[in-house]
């Protein structure tokens, strides 16, 4: 038995899940906490994480660390996603977290993040074939799977925070939503993602698959993904792609 703190530092929200992992692969969630740090806000202008967002994130991570210490957590697994991955000041940001919070953040690649999304939710649904759509703060993941195999995936470079910043001056929420929909369709179909030709082809292919085959779409939360991080990066039972069972 081991008590683990799992931190997911996203572009919009920082999340902490504290779990007790058992040798047989079961786990119990003993505490959860999330804070809206909006780390990726205004980042699209120059590619740098902004000082105010960094300060808010470090304040939150210090709180997470105090909660882990008070809860008797034996090990912390912390990962960063799109905002940290793309930040030009990534190294100085991670160093500041290490020094001020005593937390080491591991930055996930797009591929790792997409596979963790898949593995974190596949056992929570009984749909043999479909698309998993995960809308994060700084990226959107689309994963096409069949019979527990990932056939294709793509990570698009925009999410809730980046789209909010982009259309913040819309007159009404309805107008903003319309702009977001138009933007999403245009980016997926007009070739503007061709900086990564393979990624663009993946987007087109996934859209064709969904349009022509009535593939179910599963939209999900983050707790199961966080739990899977403990298995994937902690060398615990379930690390070979099967999410452990939950003890409720």
Q: Say what the pLDDT of residue 209 is.
A: 53
**For residue 210, how many other CB atoms are within 10 A of its CB?**
17
Confidence of residue 26 (pLDDT cuts 50, 70, 90): confident
Q: Label residue 243 by pLDDT band (50, 70, 90).
A: very low
* 182 or 235: which leads in pLDDT: 182
Q: What is the pLDDT of residue 193?
A: 56
HEC string for 98-160:
HHHHCCCEEECCHHHHHHHHHHHHHHHCCCCEEEEEEECCCCEEEEEEECCEEEEEEEECCCH
**Per-residue pLDDT tens digits for 165-197:** 778 788 788 888 888 878 877 776 666 555 443
pLDDT of amino acid 222: 46
pTM: 0.72
Question: Which DSSP symbol is given to 243?
Answer: P
Mean pLDDT of the chain: 79
**Residues contacting 36, CB < 8 A, separation 6+:** 12, 13
47 sits in the region (left: phi over 0; alpha: psi -120 to 50; else beta) called left
Flag the least confident range among 59-68, 92-101, 234-243: 234-243
Q: Tokens 């500041």, residue?
A: 96
Distance CA 20, CA 71 (A): 11
**CA–CA distance, 174 with 53 (Å, rounded to integer):** 28
């Amino acid at each position: 038995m081991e008590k683990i703190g799992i931190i997911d530092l996203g572009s919009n929200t920082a999340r902490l899940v504290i779990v007790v992992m058992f040798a047989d692969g079961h786990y119990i969630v003993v505490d959860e906490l999330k804070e809206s740090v909006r780390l990726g806000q205004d980042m699209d202008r120059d590619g740098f994480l902004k000082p105010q967002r960094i300060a808010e994130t470090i304040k939150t991570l210090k709180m997470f660390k105090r909660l882990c210490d008070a809860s008797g957590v034996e090990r912390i697994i912390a990962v960063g996603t799109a905002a940290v991955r793309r930040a030009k000041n990534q190294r100085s940001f991670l160093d500041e977290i290490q020094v001020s919070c005593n937390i080491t953040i591991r930055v996930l690649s797009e591929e790792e993040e997409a596979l963790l999304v898949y593995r974190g939710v596949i056992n929570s649904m009984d749909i043999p074939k479909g698309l998993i759509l995960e809308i994060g703060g700084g990226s959107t993941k689309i994963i096409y799977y069949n019979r527990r195999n990932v056939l294709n995936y793509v990570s698009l470079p925009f999410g809730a925070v980046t789209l909010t910043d982009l259309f913040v001056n819309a007159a009404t929420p309805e107008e903003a939503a319309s702009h977001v929909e138009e933007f999403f369709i245009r980016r997926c179909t007009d070739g503007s993602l061709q900086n990564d030709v393979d990624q663009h082809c993946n987007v087109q292919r996934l859209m064709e698959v969904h349009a022509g085959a009535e593939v179910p779409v599963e939209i999900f939360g983050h707790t199961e993904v966080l739990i899977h991080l403990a298995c994937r990066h902690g060398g615990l039972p379930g690390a070979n792609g099967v999410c452990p069972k939950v003890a409720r």
